[in-house]
Amino acid sequence: MHVETDVLVIGSGGAGMYAAIEAARAGAQVFMIDRSLIGRGGATVMAQMTVAVALGSETPDHWRHHLQDTLAAGRGLCSEDLSRLLCERGPECILEMERWGVGWARRNGRITQAMAPGHDRPRCVYVDFLNTGPAVSKTLRTVVNRTAGIAKASDLCVVDLVRQDGEVAGAVAHHLGSGAPLIISAKAVIVATGGLTRLYRRNSASANMGGDGYALALRAGATLIDMEFVQFFPIGHLAPRLVGMDPIMWDPFRYKLGGRLLNNQGEEFAERYGVAEDGRYVLTRDVATYGILKEVAAGRGSPHGGAFLSFQHCSQEALRAAFGPVIDRLAANNIDLTRQSVEVAPIAHYHMGGVKADARMETEVPGLFVAGEAVGGANGANRLSGNAVTEALVFGRRAGRSAAERAARRAPRPLRPADVATVLPLAGAPPATGAGRDLNTAAMVERLQTLMADDVGPLRTRDGLARALAGIEALTDALGELPVGDGKPFDYRRLDWLDLRNMLTVAHVVAAVALARTESRGAHQREDHPEMRPEWAVNQTVRWREGGIVFAAVPAAGAAPPADQAAAPQAVLDATP
């Protein structure tokens, strides 16, 4: 099958849906597709609470303060034009969402804004603790449904973008339900495919977050930036067993109730890493992740290899007042927070790196736009709580507008058979059979996740990264050039093969640029290079040229953050054994 559209949006999380709405409002015919169900597949629907935005509804604020905090958290690496866009345009999107009925929580008639680590004042709006993402997704789905000019389809996994005369002119997708390929010609394409945390064994991701968009864009000729900066969420649930609840659920608990992060000696250890918490929640994610892992390495970890998180200072009444039915779900898991601590440990959660784009969300390849977590650079070496949903909305809206403007200037140019000749066999032809094709793709995914967790996690060394690269290369060789599977509808082995093709490419990029960066900064901590070095105030970029990957280091586009904010936490990290 072959369809034509003005704007193709790949991915229907917050970024994709906002992009589709904005492109349609600007007059474009939009086709939005997703490998999962529309609006239900990626991270947006899972987001729990914070959406950072300088509304100043309760405490005076200005987007410049938000920008200042974002740049400081990014440790000198933010692409400042993108960070500025995020902070400056955030309020418009949040207020538009309010007009669309999202229902941001209010106190005394004003939108409530909570305090979060790294922000200098209460700045995070939410709908309901644990329920913000579902509300954001539902609101956007509703607006998508009532906006004329948006066609949409689920179960379409994009296998590759297609170029015509040096420009991106469409894509080829694999339709899971039929096993057939779909060719889509488009005047502009927006990649809004989210992040890559499925590369890691312990992650907060959905199954669709294996970094597809980074690999698609790279193969189409775009540049990736800051790929070494994978954010680990420090207090992911570890033990006891927790069924039917999200591993990052302790974040809202800490926002609302504080809570104490303890080692096995019962010490609140954050101070050892430069931040006195005193029961509050002020540790940024990179410092907290580092601190927990260092405590474990020093033999002061919890039994399962993390830290203890205690809410035992809270009464049953206070817990119920804050979280009501959630307390019952904890009780069903035999967890009583008034009597016991839980164990927590870092879990892969978000990717700061991604596709390089300008402030119009256009990549270096004409016709290719990007939005949301797929974009790299706005958050530098470390992201502040709440910036990701804002980024998805703001960048989505901007990408939609820019793509529609391009589409309005161009005549249709349907893809020709020659344009799609190399990708069609991957997307729908009978799979390869014969000797060596009996791959256990599920085991290969698990092997990759294990080696990424072991050697490309929050604490890295030269030897470990080199070991990871060798493992990735071996898996890449084993994967081969043609898909496996039975070629029938719902061919999950083919899907695994397609996933692995992207995951291995992206894993290779992350490990290679992490190996190259011989310093520690933000989410990238090298045990063998513990100091932050001024000469590394550069963004590493990655391009695909004639089948190979080419790296470069370019001076950071962002203004350096004030020395006292950027250097202080790092100096403490460096001094820590």
Ligand X SMILES: Cc1cc2nc3c(=O)[nH]c(=O)nc-3n(C[C@H](O)[C@H](O)[C@H](O)COP(=O)(O)OP(=O)(O)OC[C@H]3O[C@@H](n4cnc5c(N)ncnc54)[C@H](O)[C@@H]3O)c2cc1C
Catalytic residue positions?
A: 285
Q: Does 90 bind ligand X (CB under 6 A)?
A: no
Report in angstroms how near the CB of residue 361 gets to ligand X at its nearest.
Answer: 12
**Shortest approach of ligand X to residue 531 CB, angstroms?**
30
Query: Using the rule CB under 6 A, which residue among 8, 9, 10, 404 binds ligand X?
Result: 10
Q: For residue 542, count other CB atoms closer than 10 A to its CB.
A: 26
7, 186, 205, 415: which one binds ligand X (CB under 6 A): 205
Options 24, 30, 32, 49; binder of ligand X; rule CB under 6 A: 49
Which listed range, 10-18, 402-410, 487-495, 522-530, lies at the site for ligand X (CB under 6 A)? 10-18
DSSP 77-107: ---HHHHHHHHHHHHHHHHHHHHTT----EE
Q: Which residue's structure tokens are 């014969």?
A: 434
Name which of residues 154 to 193 contact ligand X (CB under 6 A). 157-158, 192-193
Which tokens in the block code for residue 469? 């690269």
Site for ligand X contains 16 (CB under 6 A): yes
CA 575, distance to chain mean position in Å, is 30
Which two structure tokens, joined as six digits, stand for 421? Answer: 């000749």
Kindly state whether residue 41 participates in binding ligand X, applying the rule CB under 6 A: yes
Q: Is residue 7 near ligand X by the rule CB under 6 A? A: no
Kindly report the backbone phi and psi dihedral angles of residue 41, in degrees, each rounded to the nearest multiple of 5, phi listed first. -100, -30
Minimum separation from the CB atom of position 572 to ligand X (A): 26
215 binds ligand X (CB under 6 A): no
Gap between the Cα atoms of 153 and 490, Å rounded? 16
267: three-class secondary structure by DSSP:
coil
Find the shortest distance in angstroms from Cβ 141 to ligand X: 11
- Nearest by Cα to 551 from 229, 230, 223: 223
* Residues from 481 through 540 that contact ligand X (CB under 6 A): none
Point out which span in 57-65, 208-216, 223-231, 312-320 binds ligand X (CB under 6 A). Answer: 208-216
Among 5, 6, 8, 35, binds ligand X (CB under 6 A): 35
Q: Which is nearer to ligand X, 253 or 273 (CB)?
A: 253
Token pair listed for 338 = 């008034």
**Which of 76, 134, 221, 386 touches ligand X (CB under 6 A)?**
386
The single residue among 69, 160, 277, 373 that binds ligand X, judged by CB under 6 A, is: 373
Rule CB under 6 A: choose which of 5, 29, 36, 379 binds ligand X.
36
The span of 220-228, 388-396, 415-423, 558-566 binding ligand X (CB under 6 A) equals: 388-396
Q: Which stretch binds ligand X (CB under 6 A): 13-21, 71-79, 452-460, 555-563?
A: 13-21
* Measured distance CA(41)–CA(401) in Å, rounded: 23
14 touching ligand X, by CB under 6 A: yes
**Identity of the residue, 46 or 150, whose beta carbon is nearer to ligand X in the bound complex:** 46
Contacts of 17 (CB under 8 A, 6+ apart): 32, 39, 137, 140, 141, 143, 144, 396
- Stretch of 21-29, 292-300, 382-390, 552-560 lying at the interface with ligand X (CB under 6 A): 382-390
Contact criterion met (CB below 8 Å) for 248 and 347: yes
Measured between alpha carbons, how far is 570 from 284 in angstroms, rounded to an integer?
12
Among 70, 154, 185, 208, binds ligand X (CB under 6 A): 208
Closest separation in Å from C-beta 233 to ligand X:
8
Size of the site for ligand X (CB under 6 A): 43
- Dihedral (C-alpha) 184, 186, 192, 196: value to the nearest 10 degrees? 50
Residue closer to ligand X, measured from CB, 90 or 471: 90
Q: Are 127 and 135 in contact (CB under 8 A)?
A: yes
Q: Is 350 or 536 the residue whose CB approaches ligand X more closely?
A: 350
Within residues 241-270, the interface with ligand X by CB under 6 A covers: 246, 248
Buried b or exposed e, range 403-430, using 16+ CB within 10 angstroms: bbbbbeeeeebebeeebbeebebbbbee
Q: Which stretch binds ligand X (CB under 6 A): 5-13, 147-155, 453-461, 470-478?
A: 5-13
- The alpha carbon dihedral of 375, 377, 378, 380 has a sign of positive
Q: Which residues of 124-139 are buried (b: 16+ CB within 10 A; e: fewer)?
A: bbbbebbebbbbbbbb
Q: What string of DSSP letters covers 512-543?
A: HHHHH--S-BTTBEETTB-S--GGG-EEEEEE
- Rounded Cα distance between 330 and 322, Å, is 14
Q: Which runs of E-coded beta strand occur in 212-304? A: 224-225, 230-239, 260-262
Binding piece for ligand X, criterion CB under 6 A, among 278-286, 301-309, 367-375, 447-455? 367-375
**Closest approach of ligand X to the CB of residue 42, in Å:** 2
For residue 428, state whether it binds ligand X (rule: CB under 6 A): no
Cα–Cα separations (whole angstroms), residue 577 to 92, 291, 572, 574: 45, 11, 10, 8
Residue 389 near ligand X by CB under 6 A: yes
Q: Which residue intervals of 26-79 are DSSP H helices? A: 63-73
Provide the mask over 51-80, with x wherever binding to ligand X is found by CB under 6 A and - wherever it is not: x-----------------------------
Which of 12, 29, 154, 379 binds ligand X (CB under 6 A)? It is 12
What residue type is 305 in one-letter code?
G
3-state secondary structure of 233: strand
Gyration radius of the chain over CA positions: 23
212 binds ligand X (CB under 6 A): yes
Q: Which residues bind ligand X (CB under 6 A)?
A: 10-16, 33-36, 41-44, 46-51, 132, 157-158, 192-194, 204-205, 208-209, 212, 246, 248, 350, 372-374, 386-389, 392
